[in-house]
Amino acid sequence: MLISLVFIILIACGGAALTYLVATDKPLMWRLSAGTVIGSAIFGLLAFLLASFAAFNTITLVVALGFTLLPLLLLRRPDIQRMARTDWARAKGKFEGASLQKIAPFLYYAFFFIVFWQFFGRTMFEAESTIYTGGSQNLGDLPYHLGAIFSFTDGNNFPPVNPSWAGAKFTYPFIADFISACFVKVGADVANAMFVPNVAWAFSLLVILERFARDLTNNKLVGRIVPFLLFFSGGLGFLWFLKDVSESGKGLWDVLWHLPQDYTINKDFRWGNSMVVLFMTQRSLLLGMPIVLLVLGYLWKVFGTGDLDEAKIEDDRRQSEKQRERGGRLPDYIPALLPAFLVGLLAGSLVFVHLHSLIVLFVVTVFLFVFRPASWQQFVTFGVGTAIVALPELVWLMTGTATETKTFFGWQFGWDKGTENFTWFWLRNTGLAIPLLAAGIWLYWDGRDRDPNLPLQDRTFWSRHLLLFYLPFAFLFILGNAMTLAPWVWDNIKILIYWWVASMIFVAIALAWAWRMGKGFRIAAGIAFAVLIAAGSLDVWRSASGQIKYGVFQPDGIQLAEQIKQKTDPKALFLNAPTYNSPVVLTGRQSLMRYNGHLGSHGIDYGPREAEVKTIYQGGPAADALLQQYNIDYVMMTPEERDQMKANEGFFGKFPVAAEVGQYKVYKVK
């Protein structure tokens, strides 16, 4: 773990230094959190380029890390030094003197850190010589990410080809997995190489999201509430939990420690908790979302700087004076449009980090530009920065891919509702969220979220800006419910989750307004908050408390994988049954075809090849011809091949056995 910790800390320091070129008057924790994801994107892309054109080894990774740390040279400038010292002094001051006001924020962040530590610790763990996962939705995704990681570390997969589909480029956004591969390459074990970045990115997302919501509303309480609504998202599943408690005949505490199912994702619910169905299983989003929020924070600054009410203008003037006194303005030698360009470069990295997040940014930016054409210089500069990074990546991805773009788009009403009523589907899956969203929008439009008893600088300001800023996210909700944006319609959630994040700001506005309106409203706000996070909390608890233990790779398969790594060429091509957990995954070698569930969700027409795989395993002259046609080096023979493929093992007896452990064999056919 130490190696991964050292790398992520150094990466964070390099990225944090860059924030002084873009953002003023941000706390140190925000800078370190932003630096973690910015540095991760920079390090990941630089290391990938060096590995592709030179070699993937410790030297190239140290060089990439050195370039990632170059922004620290900015601290040699007196003005930036002054800002850094001010940030440090302010952070240090928050820990001096004991008071509830100072302890409460610490407890807030400590709570989330402990949750993240426990939860992501269940992503992958080993016991009894078996690899397990403690995520209910991670049984198929863990092998996919391990396959990507090992393809870099043990398969020397540069330039990357799809380890699950021979003959095609690796078009899945792989930077998150590649960063973990970098940590493994310098000596970390693979479990910690995933665990440490996961916790770091999740905590960064927490801090960035909290600040983002606070900046949009100028309300601390809103900022505190929104992360709860994201990380513990859920619907009315807690009612199903109460039913399970009633029918179990056991006490509440006993059931909590032996939860029989998830309560946000099952046959009755499709809007799964974000931690369970997204952040553990789809690591790319865990890195992509905080990057998007950083970019959106800048776009909000550009979008929201005109036609504000007098209160906001006066508030901004006072804040500017404070920044000037602390040296918190951007230095005069930094061109006015440089921040827009740098933020654009960061946005461009999303092609390899999380492509769906870049699509979201594109939609939002188009809307904001239409609403604020007067800021065209910033928007154009931002677009140029994005294009410089994104276009070469997109060109590379679009050539040599097996993905069929036409499978991504089609008309389908109601997302994943099936035959259910649209309104009831969303109310059941999101609970009070949509009614409170409507209430929050009305309160904001009517101006009732303002508290005249608060000081001017602490008021939320009313204008049309936040409502206009929300419109592209509302459009994303409509789009996600009108058509399929992926071969598997459920994957629309990768777009819809951004609607959820933006919507939770208005939900939090409604809760914060009720909280300060008196005892009765405060009780109602507390109940509503509990209802919003109850089902999600149950699902997060189920994983974090260690109640789930799914075996992914068995001891014989793990031992066989070690033999394969020792006895076969890293570029060897394997034939195996299209299962999610073939031992080939752990070797870094390429498969002719792996799990059809993943292939189909990526837009690959796997049907004809799957039929050919079955033909090979059945043996005979057609099998020999196909082995030669695909230039296959080794054939896997395990219980999966025998059961699923009805393998004719007698046919393969003519080939030498390259590796064998128990019922697991590998035949050398070339």
Band of the pLDDT at 663, cuts 50, 70, 90? very high
In eight-state DSSP terms, residue 665 is E
Beta strand residue intervals within 395-451, DSSP E: 410-411
Q: At a CB cut-off of 8 Å and minimum separation 6, what does 640 contact?
A: 576, 577, 579, 582
93 torsion bin: left (phi>0), alpha (psi -120 to 50), beta (else):
alpha
Instruction: For residue 252, give the amino acid letter.
Output: L
| Tokens 């619910």, residue located | 269
Per DSSP, 277 falls in state I
Q: Which amino acid is at 560?
A: L
pLDDT (tens digit per residue) in 208-256: 999 999 999 989 999 999 999 999 999 999 999 999 999 998 999 999 9
309-333 burial code (b ≥16 CB/10 A, e <16): eebbeebeeeeeeebeebbbebeee
**Polymer length of the chain:** 670
Average pLDDT over residues 112-133: 96
CA distance 351 to 390: 6
pLDDT tens readout for residues 274-300: 999 999 999 999 999 999 999 999 999
User: Is the pLDDT at 327 greater than 50, yes or no?
Assistant: no
Give pLDDT tens digits for 78-119.
888 989 998 898 888 877 776 777 788 899 999 999 999 999
User: Is it the case that residue 126 has pLDDT exceeding 70?
Assistant: yes
Grouping H, G, I as helix, E, B as strand and the rest as coil, residue 664 is strand
- Predicted confidence band of residue 620 (pLDDT cuts 50, 70, 90): confident
Q: What is the mean pLDDT of the chain?
A: 91
What pLDDT does residue 449 have? 56
Instruction: Enumerate residues 6+ apart whose C-beta is below 8 A from 613.
Output: 575, 577, 578, 592, 593, 645
In this predicted structure, the answer to whether residue 457 has a pLDDT above a threshold of 50 is no
Q: Which two tokens stand for residue 25?
A: 């008057």
CA–CA distance, 482 with 464 (Å, rounded to integer): 27
**In the predicted structure, residue 560 carries a pLDDT above the cut 50:** yes
The bridge status of strand 590-591 relative to strand 573-575 is parallel
Distance CA 458, CA 452 (A): 10
Strand-pair category, 634-637 with 573-575: parallel
In this model, does residue 454 exceed pLDDT 80?
no
Kindly report the number of other CB atoms within 10 A of residue 471's CB atom: 15
Half-sphere exposure of 486 (CA within 13 A, CB side): 20
Strands 634-637 and 590-591: unpaired
Place 326 in a pLDDT band, splitting at 50, 70 and 90. very low
**DSSP character at residue 630:** T
> Running DSSP on this structure, what letter comes out for residue 603?
T
Distance CA 284, CA 397 (A): 16
Q: What is the pLDDT of residue 336?
A: 78
Report which DSSP code applies to 283.
H
Residue 167 identity: G
Q: Cα dihedral sign for 112, 115, 118, 122?
A: negative
> Residue 663 contacts by C-beta under 8 Å, 6 or more apart in sequence?
556, 638, 639
Give 450's pLDDT tier (boundaries 50, 70, 90): low
Residue 125 — left, alpha, or beta (φ > 0 → left; ψ -120 to 50 → alpha)? beta
Average confidence (pLDDT) over 523-541? 97
Could you read off the pLDDT of 338-395 as tens digits, one per residue?
A: 999 999 999 999 999 999 999 999 999 999 999 989 889 999 999 999 999 999 999 9
